[in-house]
Every structure is written in C-alpha cells, then in structure tokens.
Chains A and B, each alone.
Chain A
C-alpha cells in the first residue's frame, strides 16, 4: 500500500467537502436530543460514558500533587464501588505527563497530553513538534493537538494538513487527537472541512474544542463532525474517532452525545477506542445518576469525591 500524496488527500477533502445547512443540522441535533434513555439502556450509557471519559485538568495551577489525586479518581472513580470502571485517559499538560504516568502505573488508564502549543497553537511548527516528542518521551500514550485556526481561516488548508500529518508522524504511533476548536471556525461548513482535512492528514481522532473558549462543544457540532467521519470512512475505509470536550458537565449532556454518535456512526463507535468525552466534573454527575438508577433516590453531591 502506498501512502496517498498530500494533493490526493486534500483533493479527497475537497470532494467530500459539501455544504451543511445550519438550520437543518441544528434541528436534527435537537431532535436527537429528545431521545428518552431509560432504565437498562441508561445504566449502560452512564457506564459507557465513564469508560469513554478523558478526565481532564488543564489549569495553570496544576501540580504533580493535583495530578496524583486525579489519577486515583481516574482509576477508581467510585472508591467504594469496584463495579465502576476506570476512565479512558487522564488528560494533562506536557510537564505533568511523568507524574501522571507514574501515578497510573499498572492501570488501564492512558496518559493523554495536550501538546503543540495548546490551546492557541500559535508557536513555530518545530517547537510544537518538539513538544509532542518530549511528551511521548515522558510516557504519553495519546497526544491532543490543535490546528492553526488562523491558517485555516486564511484558506491555507495545506498548512493545516502539513501540521497534522507531521504531528502524527512525530507521535510515532501514539494516538493523535486533533482539536479543531470549532467555536472559532464560525460555520458548520468550515467545521466539516476542517474535520476532513485533519482526517485526510492522518489524525486518529477529531476533537471539538480545547475547552478554553466559548462556545465549546455543541450537539450540532458533534453531529456535523460525526457525519464527516462517516463519509470519510465510506470513501477511504478508515475509521476515525470523535472526541467532544468543553462544557460537558451533566450525565444528560453526555447521553445526548452518545445518542448522536449512536444514530450517526452506529454501535461500532460506542467504545473508548472511537469515542471520548473530555471533561473534569462530568464523572461525579455520572456516578450520581448511576446511584439514582440503582436506588431510586436523588443523591447529594457531597457523597462523591472531589479530586
């Protein structure tokens, strides 16, 4: 098998580009959000949402101590309940990868590092690539990069393609998630196009937002990206993952995203290999809802550990 050329890949993005009608996409997302998920199917979804979670801390005040606490939450979200699974990954800044890796040793939880001048992406490419390399060297299993929105909005698709494909290359087999920062792209047409360019450049997952700007992830955005993933798979046979992140705090929101993925991409995407939710406070709400399902009582936030 030969690697497709850049021209070929960008041509593919052009061909699949198409347009998105905003009113229609939003109406479809709103319709899907009225799905009523109950009983067993809700329990299954809540548990899946935990397994798909990238437990995230991306604050200036993050310290190794904070990351160790979070790692324990990632491995055992509900210390008293061994039935609750671990989350998929712990997502941190590069400087904290080592601490995370040590704290998670022996668990199934992956270390994901944001890299490449997160969240703006406004550094020279060689520095961004070096940041990826060092995060990998420190033990990161997954890398969350951002595209250059400035270049993309200026029409420089080639540069975006180049950045993503070089990042995938230097990540050397580590799972690369590419953040489009959809809240800065302005239209669903552009979100679709950016999704296709990132996929054509070889990213393993496309991701909505850094969580640092508003609007972050929205349901119609996830829908449009899921549709792009589906069309890309039809055209190339390659299955790309989806990560939604930013502002997802409630179990209700998480389930709405799962419904969109389920009804757009199918059951094959309902796994941490192909779907992730980046969040910091979501896990406790998922735990509360699980307890509500089991006991029938509404719970109290103080019963869930804050790390």
Chain B
C-alpha cells in the first residue's frame, strides 16, 4: 500500500482581498526550526507595496464609514474564523517556533478584545469640552487612514495580531509586513481574514525582505502612519526621517494592550457649534 502524497500549499501575498503572487515573480526560501525547507514564500517588491497602498486607499473610506458595531462584529468574526482554523494556525506556528497553543490563544483573544473596543473607543478617549462660552464643543478620535505596519519578527502570530487588530479597530486600512523569518503564520492569518467578512483591501499582508520593503513603505506619500514596532537598529532612524516627508505618524507598540494602542492609529477631531435661539 502506497502512502498518500500530500498536497502542498503555495504561499502568496494577501492584497486587496486576493491572494496574488508577487508581481516580481520572486520568492524566498523559508526554513523551519531545524533549518529544514518548509516553503517558498512570495518575496514582495516595491510595486507590490504600491499596489497594496492603492488597495488600502480604495478600501479605507468604506471601512472608516462602517458603523462601530459593524466593525466590531467583523473583528469578532475574525476571532471566530481563527478559532475554527486554529489547527492550521498552530501547525504553522509550531513548525517554526515550537509550542504554539498559547500563542494562538492569545492571538484569537486579541481580536475578541479589540472587537469590544470599536464602539467604546470614542466614549473612553473622546469627550465634551466645557469651553468658556455658549458653545457645544466635542472631541472624538477618527481613523487616520492608510497605515503601514511592521510588526515584530516574533512571536510571529501574536506580534502581527496585536498590531493589526487595533489598526482595524480604529477604522484604518493597513499594509502589513509579515515576519521575514517566519512569514507562513501570517499567510494562515490572512486566510482567516479573507473568510471573515473583512472587506478586501482593509488588511494587506506582504511577505518579503524587510530591508527592501520598509523604506518603500516609510517613504510612500499616500501612507498616513507607520507602525515601526518591528523595525530595528539603524533602520528606525531612517524610517522616522522618511516619514517626515508627508508628516506620517510614527507609532510603536506599548507593552500593554488597550485603547491607546487604537488611538495611536487615529486623529482627534474637535467640533465647535454655537448654542442660541
């Protein structure tokens, strides 16, 4: 009796809701904990970044205009899909980082947590301002727009989720660079996002070489903010300087989850209106 031959997965980019290969036709080898070959991941190019920004910009108005309740349900749906595909997520994490169960738990719970923030962020982080005059004056956070996310290299899955979820929660569309060393869990996550009612283009995940991609993302003039949590060393200074060209907000993750992780991806708006007969 012959053993059944397994079907192997082609790992592609997640861009505009689709799973294309890199337009460059390039890929790079991904190896497991013991150095064994796992797969060839797509190696995104600067043009893929350009296309991802275009997709994000197109998706953003709809996502930002969705009701907070609707966005909350979509984030919760992501958690539902991750839970049902947790075997897949665990397998991808396990073969590169070892024990995976806790990481997958935490990743799912991150989406549940931020699902609950969509309709509370304004209540907690905004408010009525008691100005000295007959005016109604209110301040509330609004989505910044298109944001770039460079998450930490590891833990591969939670590092990604802890940045994607608050960006989505705040109504932004994002271009996310996966862990260069461990890109496969990111693609498993993309497959959860793609089946979870997340509108195409709201999250775009690219795999590839960070030193090639980060500067392109940081200097792109149609990107409104960049999360540099996963940018290290000298490249940080370079990215922060590039961000100045269009006054990008430069964000880094804090140690704890919470509403400030969301408002980091948002701008505050104040509205004045007179009160009188």
Q: Is A–B contact present in the complex under a CB 8 A cutoff?
A: no
A residues within 8 Å of B by Cβ?
none
